Chain A
């Protein structure tokens, strides 16, 4: 398991430099626009994508064929991707949160409770995104997985705009649910755990 995570970290470390520049650019953008939530969202999105990049490298190199000749269980191979994703997400949040707080300190654009609400929602969304994407990438591979990712990004917005007259006012609904927002990351973690069970079942049926 440690070897698998180490392999992925070494493989994707080449991306880190490029992404450090992107984060720097986003930081400047966030300061200029005084929108700290954007920084948080994009940093989370970037780190989430690293697991998908690792899966793409694996697919291109036929790594699974090699990995399955090693003394590793299929469950370990799948779980390593979940642990990697979760670790990267935590690192992303830990890096982004102080920056967001700094921007907030200087701009005081939104009240601090809203900031933590945003933080919880974004973390929960990222965990759910991983929970959906990882089994899809493991089952379909990276090319089809990308299409599903695009659909996943655009479909909710499209559906809401299509059926908005039938939906209750989202702002009011969210305001009513405010007290539950802090537990959403835990719900996200639970969904991620369920997803790992599904992905393991998918992987165990695969042939190499």
Chain B
């Protein structure tokens, strides 16, 4: 079962538009949603949450249309943005009092346990918290009604590596329950490499790739050589090519290439750069 299904989503915002965006997130998995700044990650997520109105297309969460079943769906999701969007004069204890009015399933003891675990002060105003603390508070708020799906829009951007690592561990802890799923938008590919099961790449409002991370890491390879050597690669094996420092580089399907060609294991970042900056043709 897919917890998220998006079919042919279209949304125009000024000069930018999402063009027939389609992808799915299977239950029990983490989908890394990646793309450069302005690629359309946040726009897609906002459409998924009905914060932006889609022009056409279909968005299903838990198999239900987000516009028709907005309230029941929002009971089962936790959302973390790139910052905590609550009045800055509130503190974590006050937020508990407020949030328990919104969710029947709100678990105050779980919330305060998370605050202790994350070292978030209970009585400090949001405006007095560091960015890392605000994000941890935001995650505690998103988790404490026990959602089945977390939607994370750049939750680690602008954070130092130590805080990022702590936050990623929290998400891995959430994924201990097999019915839980995460959509994780980020342009930090190392975060996705650590946590994601699937990768969806968006570029200029179009989905270029949506694939299992293992397929990307173990079935793809990078060949580096001269133009002539790249020319010798079987055409159907080449996914993208680009100019390298000492000649040409090609992203290829490993199993379609003769073992005589020495291939390097790609990182997620390599694959994304090939898709975004590379060419489909050899030259």
Q: How far is the CA of A7 from the CA of B90 in the complex (A)?
A: 9
A61 and B85 within 8 A (CB): yes
Query: Which residues of chain B in 68-93 are interfacial with respect to chain A, using CB atoms and an 8 Å cutoff?
Result: 70-72, 74-75, 77, 79, 81, 84-90
Q: How far is the CA of A39 from the CA of B90 in the complex (A)?
A: 31
**Residues of A close to B89: CB separation below 8 A:** 11, 14, 57
Among B53, B86, B87, B94, the most chain A Cβ lie within 10 Å of the Cβ of B87
Number of A-B residue pairs having CB atoms within 8 Å of each other in the complex: 70
Interface status of B50 (Cβ within 8 A of chain A):
yes
Give the residue name and chain of the A residue nearest to B53 (CB). Answer: A207
Q: How far is the CA of A167 from the CA of B83 in the complex (A)?
A: 55
**Residues of B close to A66: CB separation below 8 A:** 79, 81, 84-86
Q: How far is the CA of A14 from the CA of B72 in the complex (A)?
A: 35
Interface status of B101 (Cβ within 8 A of chain A):
yes
Interface status of A65 (Cβ within 8 A of chain B):
yes
Given known A3-B98, A3-B101, A6-B97, contact A208–B86 (CB-CB < 8 A): no
**Residues of B close to A14: CB separation below 8 A:** 89
Residue-wise, chain A 79-107 has the 8 Å CB interface mask toward B (1 for contact) of: 00000000000000000000000000000
A11 and B87 within 8 A (CB): yes
Interface status of A70 (Cβ within 8 A of chain B):
yes
**Residues of B close to A2: CB separation below 8 A:** 101
Interface status of B24 (Cβ within 8 A of chain A):
no
Q: How far is the CA of A26 from the CA of B97 in the complex (A)?
A: 34
A10 and B98 within 8 A (CB): yes
Interface status of A164 (Cβ within 8 A of chain B):
no
A68 and B51 within 8 A (CB): yes
Interface status of A63 (Cβ within 8 A of chain B):
yes
Partner of B102, one of A62, A65, A72, A207: A72
Query: Shortest distance in angstroms between A7's beta carbon and chain B's nearest beta carbon?
Result: 5
**Residues of A close to B49: CB separation below 8 A:** 68-69
Q: How far is the CA of A2 from the CA of B99 in the complex (A)?
A: 10
| Contact size range, B | 20 to 34
Q: How far is the CA of A63 from the CA of B85 in the complex (A)?
A: 5
Interface status of B116 (Cβ within 8 A of chain A):
no
**Residues of B close to A70: CB separation below 8 A:** 74, 102-103
Query: Shortest distance in angstroms between A200's beta carbon and chain B's nearest beta carbon?
Result: 15
Given known A11-B87, A61-B86, contact A208–B51 (CB-CB < 8 A): yes
Query: Which residues of chain B in 17-42 are interfacial with respect to chain A, using CB atoms and an 8 Å cutoff?
Result: none
Residue-wise, chain A 29-69 has the 8 Å CB interface mask toward B (1 for contact) of: 00000000000000000000000000001101111011011
Interface status of B159 (Cβ within 8 A of chain A):
no
**Residues of A close to B79: CB separation below 8 A:** 66, 69
Give the residue name and chain of the B residue nearest to A2 (CB). Answer: B101
**Residues of B close to A208: CB separation below 8 A:** 46, 51-52
Given known A3-B98, A3-B102, A6-B98, contact A68–B87 (CB-CB < 8 A): no
Q: How far is the CA of A69 from the CA of B80 in the complex (A)?
A: 10
User: Which B positions have Cβ atoms within 8 angstroms of A?
Assistant: 46, 49-53, 70-72, 74-75, 77, 79, 81, 84-90, 94, 97-103
Q: Give 10 pairs: A residue, B residue, CB < 8 Å, sorted on A.
A: A11-B89, A58-B87, A60-B87, A61-B88, A65-B85, A69-B49, A71-B71, A72-B74, A73-B70, A207-B52
Known: A66-B86, A72-B71. 8 other contacts (CB 8 A): A3-B100, A3-B101, A6-B101, A63-B85, A69-B49, A70-B103, A71-B72, A73-B70
